[in-house]
Structure 1
Amino acid sequence: MVDFDPGQYRFYFMAEDSVRGLKAYFQMSNYGIIYTEGTFDGLYLLTEYDGETDIDVYTSSLMLIYTGDSVVHRYYSQTTGQTIPGKPRFIHGSHTGSTSRDGYLVATDQTMLRLNSVGLTTMDTWEEMFYTVPDVFDPQECYFTNNADFLINDGQLHVLYTDQTNDRKFSTAISGDYDLAPFLAHETRSSYGAVEGAIDADQIVYDLESHSFRPYYSAGSSLSSFRSTSGDAYIDANNMPTDPIAIFNGYNERTYCITEEEGVYYLYRFNFYNVVDDGDLSADGDRSKIDLSGCTGIAEATLFAANNYGHAFYYATPDAVHSFSPSSGATTSNTLYTCEPGEEVTALYTWNSGGWPTAGIILWIATWDENAQEGKLIEFEIDANYGTANWSFGPSMAPDHTNPYITTGYGKIVSMTCVDAE
């Protein structure tokens, strides 16, 4: 029994030579002792303030599972007394040693931390996350699924299984000659209505060396390959005509890709989820490849988002946010938001389905005004299939809101996540 102030504590073993007075110390464990008042749930915003990284937390009445409208700026630094060194890269849900998503992995251009959801206490620094620390620091993407943290660093895949003994440390890079794009599948198998003989991979990645999607199977030492593509397949997961500009998770765990081929932009949609690999991994027949020529500014798009609840995807150009629905038969995009002068879009996020009415139907847009040095968060209730603003639950659940609902006073928001519907 101890009576310590809230924080993280490390315990050391000390050996002393009583004759010569020499002492040696050994750190017994990397695990911290945590004592705080509890978690603070909501939409976590990884935000730049004055060249350093902080975390803001946002909730709204439209999110239903939280207590109403609130914004806590600089929640991380208020809680811990310090910011995170460097400029923000990404934040995703993670684990702290259990098989549940109960923490966060936060990456900046200088470090990566594993944070406990209770008090955002640092569980591990970059140097403590590996048995052998990679020579190159370049975290590009991470995701927690199938009882494992998957991390892409410098194009290489690292894995940490939570249901195996591993001291909460990532493996060395999975072996092989490959270079991964910053994409990780959110779900690869179904626990309900599982198809017999379906692909049973723990993760799906895209290899820039072979220009192909590749599965990673449980506890494997290397990446695998899919079955050879059949001649009548609409699109080929084993041989993309060009490397995608963007890859992201979409409707019903489909994999969406944006490509540019001879000046024309296309949407490719693959299905690696709960499906037998019969040589054709096209998601939607002849609409698995869709011409995006009618999408405003698609050639200038820098950010993309979608979720597993609806067919639509969202993309940001330098001065606006647009959407496109591959299921509606539409050939043109919709414009959801147009930036004010001096404003740019810095992040897009739409949460997945989660068992409550508004899960899957909220889109968040983060913008930054360089002249005013202020960030803004724009919340839309959307039709997730058509990708349009849709004020359906709002009048009853958030009667004081408009659609969109805008809050201000932020730094530059770069990444967003909500672990309850990630």
Structure 2
Amino acid sequence: MQSPFRYILTALAALTLGSSCKKDLGNYDYKTVGMPVIDTSGIGNPYYIERYSNLQIDPAIRYDGGDTKALKYQWLLYPYVVGSVSTPIEVKTISTQKTLDIPVIEKVGEYRVEMIATDTTNQLKVNMVFTVVVSVGIEYGVLVLHSQADSADVDFITTANAVPVAGITPKWLKNIYSSSTGSRMSGTPRFIGQERRSNTIQNWLMIGSSEHIARMNGTDFSLIREDRSMFRRADAVMDPQTFMLMGSGYSALINNKKLHVYTTTYEVDALFSAPVPGDYELAPYLAYGTSSSFVAAVYDQKYGKFIRPASITGSMIDFQAPAAGTTPAFDLRNIGKDMLYMDRGFTSYTHAFFKDRTGSGHWLYIANFNTFTDDGRLAISAKDMSTLPEIASAKFFQSSELGYMDLYATDRTIYAYDYQGTNTASVAFNGFPAGETITCMKIYKPRPNFNLSAVDGTILYVGTWNGTQGKVYELSLNGISGAIGATPLNVFEGLGRITDISAKARGAGTY
């Protein structure tokens, strides 16, 4: 039997021979295909940009023989690495538009940004790589904590009025908390504050809501630690109410009506221990003017008195009784009122604002906690505020450190209070548009005030809410008379409901 494969092979050979002899009569039109050209004239130099600022690159595209409308774009961002690395380099797509205009949220460092242009008709590609250096962007300014619904975010604002420092330009960085962490802080916002000591590496920011607490890096606002990692005990209750780096050098947190403290410049050791022991329930206020011998002076709302820790590891104790033979302005151990606010005022005294628990009486109690000896002479004066205009409607209080003047505010009006002379108050500012109500009021007090001493205490920031958006008003303030400029220096619109405003200072030395 003959194999069929011999016939198949013969047929294939004939086909091959026939095709090799056939003349190619095709009519072809060959042409040169153009390539898109990314023109970097004037924009090819390295880009130096502050973190959270917008990176803008708009290259011209030339496409001889092609259609630029057929091009699609992709922008990639990746870290610049020298040498080999053991882990994969993360490459992010940051835009698909021709013009790049996005906030840069990457940490401080050097990066490469690559533009890729692709012709969708033939898949031809060209690319161009740009050098981008991300630097520190939040050295000087103010931090604004604001909310929408049941979550919070932070804006950072620098103006020439607040920061008259060479090389610092005005800026407004929006929603930098969510940009840094990937989400807003849940819960009702409560406080934001700086924790900075000059000539040390301590440069942190603390943010608290009804559900969370977070420590952010003071140079680039990256998240350092949060929630229970802030505490030495895993069973810590999460109810942060206020925080402050005290004049005593101690960092103090009121959490769930209890006081927690630590003192260190090293972040890994900056953890809150168990609350200071004792039977007390604190008002959610702290005042900067406290000496190291007192750790922190706080107000026990439960028993209506000022108290302090015996030491950083001791229990909560009372202040000394009034000195024998003296007639004190008040007894620190027996106030019996509800605290409305507490702040540091003129001559580094602590100003505490109170309301009677029965009746309509309002008071300013002034004490000297900025001393090293509790000698029973810390009560300085008591001022009856009960007859001041609209004092029963006052919701916000601030104390000037430049003169004998305090401020209080209702929903719409700010009053300057002369507590040392006439014990009267007068309208300082009421120029807010109809429908806006005050939600926050803070005198600009950068701590430390290195490079900023000339403007320390001379600006008032006010947050308002009209039911739709929040605004920040920057107002000039005379810290001696209480006079406020009739025309705002700046107005920032489009924020959420503003809860807190804090100065952000660089301080002296490196960090």
Q: What are the superposed Cα offsets for residues 342-383 of structure 1, whole Å, 9 maximum, x if unpaired?
A: 21111111122735311111110010110xx11111111111
CA distance in 2 between counterparts of 1:410 and 1:298 reads 29
What's 2:442 paired with? 349
Q: What are the superposed Cα offsets for residues 277-315 of structure 1, whole Å, 9 maximum, x if unpaired?
A: 3322223xxxx2222234222111222222433332222
What's 1:43 paired with? 142
Work out which of the residue numbers 252, 264, 285 in structure 1 matches 2:361.
Answer: 264
1:170 aligns with 2:263: no
User: Residues 279-290 of structure 1 correspond to what in structure 2 (within 5 A)?
Assistant: 279-283=376-380, 288-290=381-383
What's 1:299 paired with? 392
What's 2:157 paired with? 58
* Paired letter, 1:89: R
Work out which of the residue numbers 344, 347, 350 in structure 2 matches 1:255.
Answer: 350
* Paired letter, 1:246: Y
What's 2:410 paired with? 317
Structure 1 counterpart SS, 2:179: helix
What's 2:60 paired with? none
Q: Report the Cα offset of residue 213 of structure 1.
A: 1.2
* Paired letter, 1:300: S
Whether contact under 8 Å (2:305, 2:336) holds in the other structure is no
Whether contact under 8 Å (2:428, 2:482) holds in the other structure is no
What's 1:395 paired with? none
1:112 aligns with 2:213: yes
Whether contact under 8 Å (2:303, 2:336) holds in the other structure is no
1:361 aligns with 2:462: no
Structure 2 counterpart SS, 1:385: coil
C-alpha distance 267-134 of structure 1, shift in aligned 2 (>3 A): farther
CA distance in 1 between counterparts of 2:266 and 2:489 reads 45
* Structure label with greater radius of gyration: 2
CA distance in 2 between counterparts of 1:327 and 1:421 reads 34
* Paired letter, 1:381: S
Work out which of the residue numbers 179, 197, 203 in structure 2 matches 1:102.
Answer: 203
Whether contact under 8 Å (2:340, 2:354) holds in the other structure is yes
C-alpha distance 131-80 of structure 1, shift in aligned 2 (>3 A): closer
What's 2:283 paired with? 181
CA distance in 1 between counterparts of 2:191 and 2:235 reads 19
Q: Report the Cα offset of residue 106 of structure 1.
A: 0.5
Structure 1 counterpart SS, 2:228: helix
Structure 1 counterpart SS, 2:316: coil
Work out which of the residue numbers 220, 230, 244 in structure 1 matches 2:339.
Answer: 244
Q: What are the superposed Cα offsets for residues 114-154 of structure 1, whole Å, 9 maximum, x if unpaired?
A: 11123321111112111214553221111113443211111
CA distance in 1 between counterparts of 2:383 and 2:284 reads 23
Structure 1 counterpart SS, 2:388: coil
Alignment gaps of 5+ in structure 1? 9-34, 190-198, 392-401
C-alpha distance 241-43 of structure 1, shift in aligned 2 (>3 A): same
CA distance in 1 between counterparts of 2:134 and 2:317 reads 44
TM-score (norm 2): 0.66
CA distance in 2 between counterparts of 1:244 and 1:172 reads 25
Whether contact under 8 Å (1:235, 1:281) holds in the other structure is no
Percent of aligned positions that are identical? 25
C-alpha distance 126-361 of structure 1, shift in aligned 2 (>3 A): same
* Paired letter, 2:135: E
CA distance in 2 between counterparts of 1:215 and 1:164 reads 25
What's 2:51 paired with? none
What's 2:94 paired with? none
Task: Count residues in correspondence.
Answer: 370
TM-score (norm 1): 0.79
Q: Report the Cα offset of residue 328 of structure 1.
A: 3.8
* Paired letter, 1:188: T
CA distance in 2 between counterparts of 1:183 and 1:343 reads 26
Structure 2 counterpart SS, 1:224: strand
What's 1:159 paired with? 261
Whether contact under 8 Å (1:93, 1:101) holds in the other structure is no
Alignment gaps of 5+ in structure 2? 1-81, 91-105, 109-132
* Paired letter, 2:285: F
Whether contact under 8 Å (1:247, 1:258) holds in the other structure is yes
C-alpha distance 419-407 of structure 1, shift in aligned 2 (>3 A): closer
Whether contact under 8 Å (2:459, 2:477) holds in the other structure is yes
CA distance in 2 between counterparts of 1:385 and 1:347 reads 21
Structure 2 counterpart SS, 1:43: strand
C-alpha distance 421-243 of structure 1, shift in aligned 2 (>3 A): farther
Q: Report the Cα offset of residue 84 of structure 1.
A: 2.0
CA distance in 1 between counterparts of 2:314 and 2:190 reads 28
* Paired letter, 1:364: Y
Alpha-carbon RMSD across the aligned residues, in angstroms, is 2.9
CA distance in 1 between counterparts of 2:322 and 2:201 reads 36
CA distance in 2 between counterparts of 1:368 and 1:208 reads 29
C-alpha distance 164-171 of structure 1, shift in aligned 2 (>3 A): farther
* Paired letter, 1:265: H
1:235 aligns with 2:333: no
CA distance in 2 between counterparts of 1:144 and 1:290 reads 28
Whether contact under 8 Å (2:244, 2:288) holds in the other structure is yes
Q: What are the superposed Cα offsets for residues 231-288 of structure 1, whole Å, 9 maximum, x if unpaired?
A: 51122112114232332322232221222343222211111113643322223xxxx2
C-alpha distance 99-172 of structure 1, shift in aligned 2 (>3 A): farther
Q: Report the Cα offset of residue 330 of structure 1.
A: 4.2
Q: Report the Cα offset of residue 412 of structure 1.
A: 1.5
Q: Report the Cα offset of residue 334 of structure 1.
A: 2.5
Q: Report the Cα offset of residue 158 of structure 1.
A: 0.9
